[in-house]
Amino acid sequence: MKGAAYVGGGRLETVSVDVGPPGPGEIQVAVAYCGLCGTDLHIVHGNMDARVRTPLVFGHETSGTVAAVGAGVEGWKVGDPLTVMPLVWDGTCPACLAGHQHICQNLVFVGIDSPGGLQQRWNVPASIAVPLPSGLDLRTAALVEPVAVAVHDVRRSGLQVGDHAVVLGGGPIGVLIATVARDAGAHVMVAEVDATRRSRVAELGFEVIDPASADLAAEVGRWTNGVGADVVFEVSGAAAAARSATDLAKVRGTIVVVAIHSAPRELDLQRVFWRELRLLGARVYQRSDFERAVDLLGRGVIPTEALISGVVPIEEIASAIDDLSAGRAMKILVDVAGEARA
């Protein structure tokens, strides 16, 4: 079976993958599509070489159908549509025992710490397979994982109907958070420095602002009648955004850190103290977030056409990575099945 692997040194290769039958408790997935995300860019650029074992078949934003069912697996049959929640936890660490399995202290992130979905056949534990409704297009379903990220972020924030939410960063996850927050009844403003992304965000009906040319705190103050934002989502990963977040939140407002910041950031703790702000981290998702994401996609809430910039075959992943790295695309899907679909 055909696949794509990161082989180290910033290099990608199209590879032949030998996939045996699923073992006990496993499902074999006939992968249809796999989305590429920022984590995949970090892998391919060599930024995660200390973590990943090469050659690595990566990818974790997947959709497909059941190709085979291993011994002891119930409730699944060949042909069933599914996606994969790419988290495997140990169930024994303090985090798991406290009910926080998704941030297990020994978490295996499938597609990073173990082989992922950029292969035409893929054996996964049945426990991480999530069913899809039969009417949901598999191209659309490849967005379940990033939508689940946004669902988790919004749920973690405690956002309420009528709240004002500011999203710092108008990339794919920022747009998804804005969309999920709006569906939850919030008023949403997105701050984004890139003009092309600002235009896309505005076309989706959001209030949008360029934080590089406007006084963001003053604009948020105007927008909220001097109150400040109920929730601020930091999605950009930029030092300036992290520094500005405390200026935007209302008294007892909430700041949710979504982006992965590769270095320590300056933060105005005086402002955190003075306004009794809540500072929260939000990482990955739980099963209920995946199920909610499936529902949102099924109801057409998510602007899939605006998010999916293109679909490429496995052989063109390198050019897709280049386009994403240069900011020329929002979300690119890989047509993993390719000729195997026929």
Residues carrying an active site annotation: 39, 42
Joined together, the tokens standing for residue 137 give 């297009």
> Which one-letter DSSP state was computed for residue 119?
B
**Locate tokens 């003053």: which residue?**
218
Residues in CB range of 34: below 8 A, 6 or more apart? 59, 60, 61, 62, 116, 117, 118, 142, 333, 334, 336
Distance CA 231, CA 163 (A): 8
Question: Which strand (E) or helix (H) includes residue 219?
Answer: helix 216-223
**Locate tokens 């979300």: which residue?**
331
Residues in CB range of 269: below 8 A, 6 or more apart? none
Mapping DSSP to helix (H, G, I), strand (E, B) and coil, where does residue 290 land? helix
What residues form DSSP beta bridges with 267?
A: none
Pick from 145, 120, 122: nearest CA to 39: 145
